[in-house]
Amino acid sequence: MSIQELKLGFKDCSDCPIRHRAVCARCEADELAVLDEIKYYRSYEAGQTVVWSGDHMDFVASVVSGIATLSQTMEDGRTQMVGLLLPSDFVGRPGRDEAAFDVTATTNLVMCCFRRKPFEKMMAETPHIAQRLLEMTLDELDAAREWMLLLGRKTAREKIASLIAIIARRDATLTKGGGTPKTFDLPLTRDAMSNYLGLTLETVSRQISALKKDGVIQLEGKRHVTIPDFQRLLDETGDDADGGYLV
């Protein structure tokens, strides 16, 4: 597997595009300096495996750009995608030296990696990191519960609308763009979406076409999406108005 260190388009952590959402979000300048000593960047091409379930992991990481999937392969060879890693999401678990899931780059992927042992030591000494990681873990738990609902009870149309809404909200948060309309590129192929949502490829294509026909979304090519009215998309997700929408 080809892994290379990158020279990114920012000079230090303060210029990082995920700085306000990543595990280091609350770190002070001196804490960032310590993190800088144990970090390095890795890049992966779309389709490359970052780590296999059960493999030894000597690092933890934050996704800087691109998308990765979390999946699990069963004994009979069937594979189920169980999660998405979007920019600012955390990869790996301090205190565990084996990967729990297969991690695969869906698009070209850049990760900011930290050597695991020094990171664990810093967690013990730096409340800002431990607190932020706890918050991110609780957010991930909430998201997992939401996906249980999505996969188990929602219609095909609601599943597609929910996935598009989640990606759109994360994109808007990371780019600090809160206006309407929202425009972004879908990070997943329709085949990957079908795998993730437990739908057939034909159903995914049909529902995306239906959302386009009804004016809920606009499409340029297969992945460039514009949402003219975000509230209308949210209305298609099947979530009640009191529960809020998880990102």
User: CB-based contacts of 121: which residues, under 8 Å, 6+ apart?
Assistant: none
The Cα 37–Cα 92 span in angstroms is 19
Which DSSP letter does residue 90 get?
E
Residue of 1, 94, 85, 97 lying closest to 56 (CA atoms): 97
Peptide bond into 87 cis (omega under 30): no
Within 13 A of 83's CA, how many CA atoms are on the CB side? Answer: 19
Tokens 């995920």 map to which residue? Answer: 18
Cβ neighbours of 182 (radius 10 Å): 23
Angstrom CA distances, 87 to 56, 92, 213, 238, stand at 23, 15, 30, 26
Q: What is the pLDDT of residue 60?
A: 94
Give the pLDDT of the chain (247 residues) as one tens digit per residue.
Answer: 333 444 454 556 767 888 888 888 888 888 888 888 899 999 999 999 999 999 999 999 999 988 898 988 878 877 778 888 988 999 998 888 899 899 999 889 999 999 999 999 988 888 888 888 888 888 888 777 777 776 777 899 999 999 898 888 877 655 555 556 788 888 888 988 888 888 999 999 999 999 999 999 999 988 899 999 999 999 999 875 444 433 3
- What gap in Å lies between CA 46 and CA 65, rounded to an integer? 12
**CB atoms near residue 32 (< 10 Å):** 16
Q: 159 in helix, strand or coil?
A: helix
Q: How many CB atoms lie within 10 A of CB 236?
A: 21
* Number of neighbours of residue 87 by Cβ within 10 angstroms: 22
Nearest to 69 by CA among 54, 88, 49: 49
Say whether 231 sits in a helix, a strand or coil: helix
Report how far residue 189's alpha carbon sits from residue 234's, in angstroms, rounded to the nearest whole number.
22
Compute the distance between CA of residue 36 and CA of residue 69 in angstroms, rounded to an integer: 26
